[in-house]
Amino acid sequence: MKTCLTALISSLMIFSPMAYADKWSDQFPHIKATGDIPGDCSYEKMSKKNYKGKTLKINTHAIPVMGEPTALHAEQFEKLTGAKVEVTHTPAGDLYSKAMVPFQAGQAPYDVVFGFSNFINDWKRYLAPVPKKYMNSPEMKDVTKSHMGVSSWDGTMYQYPVDGDRHYLKYRKDVIDNPEMQKKYKADTGNELRVPRTWKEYAQMAKYFNDWDWDGDGEKEYGSAEVMKKDDLMFAAFFSRSVAYAKNPRTPGGFFFDLETMKPNINNPGFVEALTDWVEATKYVPPGGTNFGLGDEIGSFGGGQTLFSFSWDDAFIAAMQDDSPIKNKVGAAPLPGADRVWNRVSNSWENQYNQAPYIVWGWAVGVAKKSKVKDMAFDYLCFFSNGANHQADLAIGRFGVNPFKNSDFDPNIYINSMGWDPEIANSYTQTLLDMEKSNNRVFPLRVPGVFEFTSAVATGTSKALAGQLSPQEALDEVAKEWEAIVSRVGKKAVQDAYAVGVKMEDNKL
Amino acid sequence: MNFKHKYFFLFPGLFVLIGILIFPIIFVVRLSLSGWNSYNPGLDYIGLENYIRLFTDDPRFWESFFRLSFLSVTTVILQYVIGFALAHMVWKDIKFKRFFRVLFLVPMMTTPVIMTVIWRTFFHESLGPVNDLLSVFGVAPKWLTDPVIAKFTVIIVEVWQWTPFMFLLLLAGLLSLPKEPFLAAAIDGASPVRKFIYVTFPLMAPISIGAIIIRLIEASKIMDTVYVLTSGGPGTSTETSSFYIFIKGLREFQMGYAASMSFTYLIIMIISLTIIAKVLTKVLLKD
């Protein structure tokens, strides 16, 4: 009943096209679109807590992505509860070690630590499980099954969901859906111009639309913006390109490794095909595109420089913000697939269409087991992601907060609160929803020493992109390194941890 | 008289020395004999396993070391030549001498990370001003994405940032030179070039050796420029030893292995810098 009531009130607020004024939105303009939304950690509820004299220490990412909402909600939390909140901002690459060093030394300089969801295996022993009262809250019940899985380890939730991430395709709708462009493309190439179904189609279109001014703004545009800079999340981009060729729904038991033998799959022909495509992609990215990190990718696609992009939501949200030159000119679609997929059991290609969503790791946050203010820490996190804050955060691309609740897949949120074109809002929410429903998903690698594995992938693939090694040589090198890491960490430890992820991929959890 | 109490006054200095120099080195050595990593924290004892791995199964470390040697030697030579030229220029009585002396020091006073971010923006191949200007001449070098050019981009930034340090040391050296040899050369009618070759340069040799060694030590620790500018890429083409150790230690959290690399690197640097100092002394101070 309580859930229904909450949903009803939330819906009324969401569907209202006008700013919603209440006493809380007057004090906190951030939530002016919805006002306070009733819930266990609403503004109203938090104002009744008294944490005066207590200090909450948080380590989060640099401003703006996740760092800005952390600081904003900390300030709001201070005003509501009387607590003192100290926020430290840390670059993405150092989030892991900044928490891990004191964790390993038995200290807890931070009560709340932000990081990425794939840290979970290494961090879980130092984090407090999310208490039952939060697990049973209506807000938590609204979190999608995928993101409950990403935040949990073998049924225990260690990371409080504040963000939902997945990789999908973003494209320039004003080009792909433009009848004149379609005619011209057909005449020049003999192919249909449409949302690419495969990575080969993606490459053909990206090459065609590379290095000329196709939107008439007086500047050249390019084919694709991708994260290709070494050590700047490029491994995730590579996995996005690999899933179509290497995640075969008919061969359960591991995408990254063969779970039984723990032999890496990373150098099988599926991954090699993906890397070969990626090397080819260096020809249709903007100048300097092979040194693009995530920020560059967001700026490039969001600024209207490229036809395509794929990775986290941020580039899409940036493109759809009011100040964007391409607002309502972009579309969202599932990651391209492939016309063939590798069967690692029969060691052969299967000539049939395959597509696999990549539920990539994203922002995650936990409370240190040794924190002396755990209650306050969890209240802060619950407040961070309450209905009003979450909806307001979703509308700001630079915040890096993306949909992870079932209620987020309602297109009306984006149409009414953010001014999106209904067709785009529908394609966006449908794309995300379809990923949730897919039975052929790939989840991030979450094993002990995960950074060693992903770092090896970044090094190997970047050597291939730079032309230092062929795709096969590069991935053979990665496979060799992965075998060495498995041997160092211990086969059983990696296997046991990997089994949890495989269960999710094989739809058994 | 009994002066034994004097040893008491040595304790504070000794204590600080042990605390900030000896203990960290001993700890690094001990750490290097452990398998401390993200999943197995603690000072267990695994013998020489990390060193065996380093010497037999990690070509990337040695590649990064040779790359570092190339980068540091090249940058220091360029810094020396440019720094000497600038110091020589403002050593003379020229107009706005004081202004130039301050101006030449500005790059050194800026924060390396911030300046590298600015350089990265300059060299951005699609949005940066450098290629915008060069496009007038029909060229657009791949400053950060070509494996060979990226090395030179790192060199440009390093030379810009640290030439002022060389300039400062060499200018101080020039200002401290005795006047008599220059007067004698002038009386003998020596040309400016001969004066430089036979008087200035030999007199500056001891200072030059010191400046080069100091800069070599600093240049061999190059990390922030690489981190911000290229992340060691494209591929591994700009990866240096310190950046590689950083990746292994603080990205992958292989603390034990990173410690073994750090200690090996320290030993190599001590040996190679001693040899370089001897060679420079022999060559430059032969007379």
Full 3-state SS string of A393-431: HHCCHHHCCCCCEHHHHCHHHHHHHHCCCHHHHHHHHHH
pLDDT over threshold 90, residue B143: yes
Level-2 CATH architecture, domain A2-161+361-402 = 3-Layer(aba) Sandwich (3.40)
Confidence of residue A9 (pLDDT cuts 50, 70, 90): very low
Are A96 and B233 within 8 A, CB to CB?
no
Q: What is the pLDDT of residue B64?
A: 96
pLDDT over threshold 90, residue A239: yes
Are A465 and B250 within 8 A, CB to CB?
no
B39 contact residues in A (CB cutoff 8 A): 121-122, 448-449, 489, 493
| Secondary structure letter of residue A440 according to DSSP | S
Confidence of residue A233 (pLDDT cuts 50, 70, 90): confident
- Parallel, antiparallel, or unpaired for β A257-258 and A112-116? unpaired
Nearest to A291 among B42, B144, B236 (CB): B144
Helix (H, G, I), strand (E, B) or coil at A203: helix
As a whole number, mean pLDDT of residues A428-450 equals 91
pLDDT digits (tens, 9 = 90+) for A57-94: 999 998 888 999 999 999 999 999 999 999 999 988 78
Are B131 and A287 within 8 A, CB to CB?
yes
- Parallel, antiparallel, or unpaired for β A263-264 and A168-172? unpaired
> Cβ(A164)–Cβ(A403) under 8 Å?
yes
Superfamily of domain B59-284: MetI-like (1.10.3720.10)
Chosen for mutation from A231, A283, A468, A477 (greatest number of chain B CBs closer than 10 Å) is A231
Q: What is the pLDDT of residue A20?
A: 57
Q: What is the pLDDT of residue A2?
A: 44
Alpha helices in B92-146 (DSSP H): 97-109, 112-123, 129-134
pLDDT over threshold 50, residue A12: no
**Whole-angstrom Cα distance, residue A16 to residue A208?**
43
**Whole-angstrom Cα distance, residue A325 to residue A306?**
13
Cα-Cα end-to-end distance for chain A: 28
B125 contact residues in A (CB cutoff 8 A): 286-289, 291
Confidence of residue B127 (pLDDT cuts 50, 70, 90): confident
Q: Please tell me which residue, B265 or A155, carries the higher pLDDT value.
A: B265
Which residues, other chains included, contact A324 with Cβ-Cβ below 8 Å and sequence gap of 6+? A302, A303, A304, A318
Which residues, other chains included, contact A488 with Cβ-Cβ below 8 Å and sequence gap of 6+? A449, B35, B37
**Whole-angstrom Cα distance, residue A368 to residue A201?**
47
**Whole-angstrom Cα distance, residue A16 to residue A20?**
8
Count of A-B CB contacts under 8 Å:
106
Closest to A477 measured CA to CA, from B59, B120, B244, B256: B59
> What's the whole-number average pLDDT of chain A?
91
> Cβ(A144)–Cβ(A406) under 8 Å?
yes
pLDDT over threshold 70, residue B76: yes
B142 contact residues in A (CB cutoff 8 A): 287-288
Buried b (16+ CB within 10 A) or exposed e, A355-375: bbbbbbbbbbbbbbebbebbe
Domain ranges of chain B: 59-284
- Parallel, antiparallel, or unpaired for β A152-153 and A156-157? antiparallel
Q: What is the pLDDT of residue A21?
A: 63
Are A463 and B236 within 8 A, CB to CB?
yes
pLDDT digits (tens, 9 = 90+) for A382-426: 999 999 999 999 888 788 899 999 999 999 988 987 889 999 999
pLDDT digits (tens, 9 = 90+) for B156-199: 999 999 999 999 999 999 999 999 999 999 999 999 999 999 99
> Cβ(A319)–Cβ(A327) under 8 Å?
yes
A100 contact residues in B (CB cutoff 8 A): 38, 253
Q: Which residue of B has its CA nearest to A104?
A: B41
Are A288 and B144 within 8 A, CB to CB?
yes
Closest to A127 measured CA to CA, from A157, A86, A82, A162: A157
CA of B149 vs chain A CAs: smallest distance (Å): 12
As a whole number, mean pLDDT of residues A359-387 equals 94
Q: What is the pLDDT of residue A6?
A: 46
**Whole-angstrom Cα distance, residue A84 to residue A142?**
30
Q: Which residue of B has its CA nearest to A211?
A: B126
Nearest to B235 among A100, A305, A463 (CB): A463
Domain ranges of chain A: 2-161+361-402, 168-250+269-350
Nearest to B233 among A287, A291, A489 (CB): A291
* CATH of A168-250+269-350 given 2.60.40.10, 3.30.750.24, 3.50.50.60, 3.40.190.10: 3.40.190.10
Q: Which residue matches tokens 């380093």? A: B54
**Whole-angstrom Cα distance, residue B168 to residue B176?**
12
Are B235 and A465 within 8 A, CB to CB?
yes
**Whole-angstrom Cα distance, residue A469 to residue A355?**
28
pLDDT digits (tens, 9 = 90+) for A171-190: 999 999 999 999 999 999 99
> Cβ(B236)–Cβ(B62) under 8 Å?
no
CA of A454 vs chain B CAs: smallest distance (Å): 9
Q: What is the pLDDT of residue B1?
A: 60
Instruction: Look up residue B175 and give its two tokens.
Output: 């200002």
What ipTM goes with this model? 0.83
Are B233 and A229 within 8 A, CB to CB?
yes
What amino acid is encoded at A442 in this protein? V
